[in-house]
């Protein structure tokens, strides 16, 4: 089965693996990604962090290459290889000159298909990831977001840290790693996407040769995808005396990634705290001088989402920052966004979209994400059209859906003597 939209082509192999390409004839690079449609939210509490652990371990050597040989071969073709684990996916990717696509795919598929998971390497990598966890916990910006997420999606895998915890990572041994790998690395769970100066049919031949031996799931189902979480709007004050600043995170439930109102959500986030001209930056940093760093972020998932505001401030200013953020929520609910501000936010969003899709790596990622979350492909012209169609009335309606007093969750981290945040202060 082959589907084609302009220069984007999609094909599903008999075993269930999906191949998608976008031809970009005006460049000399090509980016390839092997994506698993499962991430940290698809782990139970005992194995929290196993997806990220596997992502690390596949680089430690395969049946055909040592870790050093992998690195040397990628360097010898001038390639750039990377990987990451997210809440809902794992990605292994490489960017090379177009002439090296066959070699790059051979190395990348070898990593994914033939890891040895040596017990000594696993023991060493446990130590590496434990140090990574410590490093993140020493980063107050990361830590306040992590505490916020764990409480916002309380008792749900989506709220668990991608890296896992010190307790879970210490338990990872070869049998559990091999079992988790075998469960996740099945063809029906894999998307191979590529963008750049390449030929779709030739690329499908290469992917087929590498992956056709994989057997489909016996029952045709992946057994993944936890139920949608219930959000919890708590006020959490976490004391950490060593911090000079107070770290704040305020958030509300938002729409899933494929929701029909998602484009209005992008614009709402942009004008609220998406840049230097945003309301939060101009009011709280520029006019009041209460924070150096303040922004909002929209995090949509397949069945839920969160719109969150972050700020770093002083203890003396913390309550005022919270009140100023909530005041912006109220304003967006009560007053239509002025036409000039709406135009500016749309232009900013369109510009960032267009610039973000100029590289082959970004195009490759866009292909895979659209395959994961949508039943069709949206080109840039259609996205821009959807953004342009959003009205001030749409934003007012969305603000009234999102910003409700009982829905606002707050996490405060720092040296907090005497600080109190009440629900009354969050009145929207």
CATH assignment at residue 262: 3.30.830.10
The count of other CB atoms within 10 Å of the CB of residue 124 is 11
Task: Please report the pLDDT score of residue 225 as a whole number.
Answer: 66
Question: Is 409 inside any structural domain?
Answer: yes
Report pLDDT digits (tens) over 154-210. Answer: 999 999 999 999 999 999 999 999 999 998 999 999 999 999 999 999 999 999 999
Is the Cβ–Cβ distance between 308 and 231 less than 8 Å? Answer: no
Question: Is 230 inside any structural domain?
Answer: no
Based on its alpha-carbon atoms, the radius of gyration of the chain, rounded to whole angstroms, reads: 23
The active-site residue, picked from 22, 43, 55, 146, is 55
Beta-bridged to residue 248, according to DSSP, are 311, 412
CA–CA gap between residue 268 and residue 285 (Å, rounded): 19
| Token output for 274 | 């998406």
Task: Please report the pLDDT score of residue 6 as a whole number.
Answer: 64
- The verdict on 131 and 40 lying in the same domain is yes
Pick from 178, 211, 244: which residue ends a domain? 211
- The verdict on 198 and 64 lying in the same domain is yes
- The verdict on 205 and 252 lying in the same domain is no
- pLDDT-derived band at 218 (thresholds 50, 70, 90) equals low
- The verdict on 155 and 55 lying in the same domain is yes
- The verdict on 205 and 262 lying in the same domain is no
- The verdict on 98 and 169 lying in the same domain is yes
> Contacts from 78-81 at CB under 8 Å and sequence distance 24+?
79/104, 81/107, 81/108
> Contacts from 137-140 at CB under 8 Å and sequence distance 24+?
140/240, 140/243, 140/245, 140/247, 140/312, 140/413, 140/414
Question: Is 322 inside any structural domain?
Answer: yes
* 205 classed as catalytic: no
Does the pLDDT at position 226 exceed 80? no
- The verdict on 186 and 278 lying in the same domain is no
Task: Please report the pLDDT score of residue 280 as a whole number.
Answer: 98
Task: Please report the pLDDT score of residue 427 as a whole number.
Answer: 96
Over range 412-426, report the average pLDDT: 96
- pLDDT-derived band at 220 (thresholds 50, 70, 90) equals very low
Q: What does DSSP say about strands 235-239 and 80-85: parallel, antiparallel, or unpaired?
A: unpaired
Does the pLDDT at position 319 exceed 60? yes
Is the Cβ–Cβ distance between 5 and 377 less than 8 Å? Answer: yes
CA–CA gap between residue 301 and residue 84 (Å, rounded): 17
| Token output for 355 | 């610039």
Q: Output the CA angle 137-181-129, nearest 5 degrees.
A: 20
Is the Cβ–Cβ distance between 54 and 90 less than 8 Å? Answer: yes
CA–CA gap between residue 413 and residue 377 (Å, rounded): 41
- The verdict on 136 and 266 lying in the same domain is no
Task: Please report the pLDDT score of residue 4 as a whole number.
Answer: 45
Task: Please report the pLDDT score of residue 227 as a whole number.
Answer: 86
Question: Is 305 inside any structural domain?
Answer: yes
CA–CA gap between residue 163 and residue 166 (Å, rounded): 9
- The verdict on 272 and 199 lying in the same domain is no
Task: Please report the pLDDT score of residue 375 as a whole number.
Answer: 78
Residue 356, domain extent: 235-426
Q: What's the structural domain count of the chain?
A: 2
Task: Please report the pLDDT score of residue 2 as a whole number.
Answer: 42
- The verdict on 186 and 239 lying in the same domain is no
Task: Please report the pLDDT score of residue 3 as a whole number.
Answer: 45
| Token output for 91 | 């990605």
Over range 259-278, report the average pLDDT: 97
Is the Cβ–Cβ distance between 268 and 332 less than 8 Å? Answer: yes
Pick from 143, 176, 211: which residue ends a domain? 211
Is 351 exposed, middle or buried (CB count within 10 Å of its CB: 0-12, 13-18, 19+)? exposed
Report pLDDT digits (tens) over 103-145. Answer: 999 999 999 999 999 999 999 999 999 999 999 999 999 999 9
Does the pLDDT at position 219 exceed 80? no
Task: Please report the pLDDT score of residue 217 as a whole number.
Answer: 74
Is the Cβ–Cβ distance between 86 and 162 less than 8 Å? Answer: yes
Question: Is 110 inside any structural domain?
Answer: yes
| Token output for 41 | 């939210």
| Token output for 293 | 């760093």
Pick from 211, 243, 261: which residue ends a domain? 211
Supply the mean pLDDT for the chain.
95
Spatial CB neighbours of 201, under 8 Å, sequence gap ≥ 6: none
- The verdict on 161 and 47 lying in the same domain is yes
Over range 238-249, report the average pLDDT: 95
Question: Is 178 inside any structural domain?
Answer: yes
Does the pLDDT at position 252 exceed 50? yes
Over range 57-75, report the average pLDDT: 96
* C-alpha pair distances (Å), 410 with each of 234, 304, 309, 326: 6, 18, 9, 11
Hunting for tokens 């967006």 — which residue is that?
332
- pLDDT-derived band at 147 (thresholds 50, 70, 90) equals very high
Question: Is 217 inside any structural domain?
Answer: no
| Token output for 346 | 């749309």
Using DSSP, state whether 187 is helix, strand or coil: helix
**Diameter of the chain measured on Cα atoms:** 66
- Reported as half-sphere exposure (CB side, CA atoms, 13 A), residue 364 has a value of 24
Does the pLDDT at position 58 exceed 90? yes
Over range 324-329, report the average pLDDT: 98
| Token output for 386 | 């959807």
Beta-bridged to residue 94, according to DSSP, are 32, 81
Does the pLDDT at position 384 exceed 90? yes
- The verdict on 269 and 196 lying in the same domain is no
Helices assigned H by DSSP within 61-199: 67-76, 101-113, 119-137, 140-152, 166-170, 174-184
Question: Is 376 inside any structural domain?
Answer: yes
């Amino acid at each position: 089965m082959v589907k084609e939209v302009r220069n984007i082509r999609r094909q599903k192999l008999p075993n269930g693996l999906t191949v998608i390409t976008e031809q970009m004839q005006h460049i000399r690079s090509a980016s390839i990604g092997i994506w698993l449609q499962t991430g940290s939210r698809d782990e139970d509490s005992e194995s929290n962090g196993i997806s990220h652990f596997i992502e690390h371990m596949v680089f430690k050597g395969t049946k055909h290459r040592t870790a050093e040989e992998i690195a040397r071969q990628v360097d010898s073709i001038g390639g750039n290889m990377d990987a990451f684990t997210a809440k809902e996916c794992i990605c292994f990717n490489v960017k090379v000159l177009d002439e090296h696509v066959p070699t790059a795919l051979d190395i990348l598929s070898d990593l994914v298909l033939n890891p040895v998971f040596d017990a000594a390497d696993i023991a060493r990598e446990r130590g590496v990831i434990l140090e990574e966890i410590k490093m993140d916990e020493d980063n107050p910006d990361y830590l306040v977001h992590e505490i916020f997420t764990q409480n916002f999606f309380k008792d749900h895998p989506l709220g668990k840290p991608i890296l896992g915890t010190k307790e879970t990572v210490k338990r990872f041994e070869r049998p559990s790693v091999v079992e988790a790998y075998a469960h996740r690395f099945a063809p029906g769970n894999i998307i191979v996407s590529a963008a750049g100066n390449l030929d779709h049919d030739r690329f499908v031949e290469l992917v087929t040769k590498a992956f056709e031996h994989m057997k489909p799931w016996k029952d045709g189902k992946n057994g993944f995808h936890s139920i949608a979480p219930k959000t919890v709007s708590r006020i959490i004050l976490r004391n950490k005396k060593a911090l000079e600043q107070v770290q704040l995170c305020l958030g509300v439930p938002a729409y899933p990634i494929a929701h029909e109102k998602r484009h209005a959500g992008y614009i709402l986030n942009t004008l609220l705290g998406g840049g230097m001209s945003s309301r939060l930056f101009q009011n709280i940093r520029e006019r009041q001088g209460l924070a150096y760093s303040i922004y909002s972020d929209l995090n949509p998932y397949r069945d839920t989402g969160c719109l969150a505001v972050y700020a770093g401030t002083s203890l003396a200013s913390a309550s005022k920052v919270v009140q100023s953020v909530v005041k912006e929520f109220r304003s967006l609910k009560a007053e239509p966004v002025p036409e000039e501000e709406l135009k500016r936010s749309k232009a900013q969003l369109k510009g960032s979209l267009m610039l973000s899709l100029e590289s082959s790596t970004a195009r490759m990622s866009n292909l895979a994400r659209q395959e994961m979350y949508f039943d069709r492909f949206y080109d840039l012209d259609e996205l821009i059209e959807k953004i342009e169609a959003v009205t001030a009335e749409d934003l007012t309606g969305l603000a009234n859906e999102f910003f409700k007093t009982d829905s606002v969750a707050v996490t405060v981290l720092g040296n907090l003597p005497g600080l109190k945040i009440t629900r009354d202060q969050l009145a929207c």
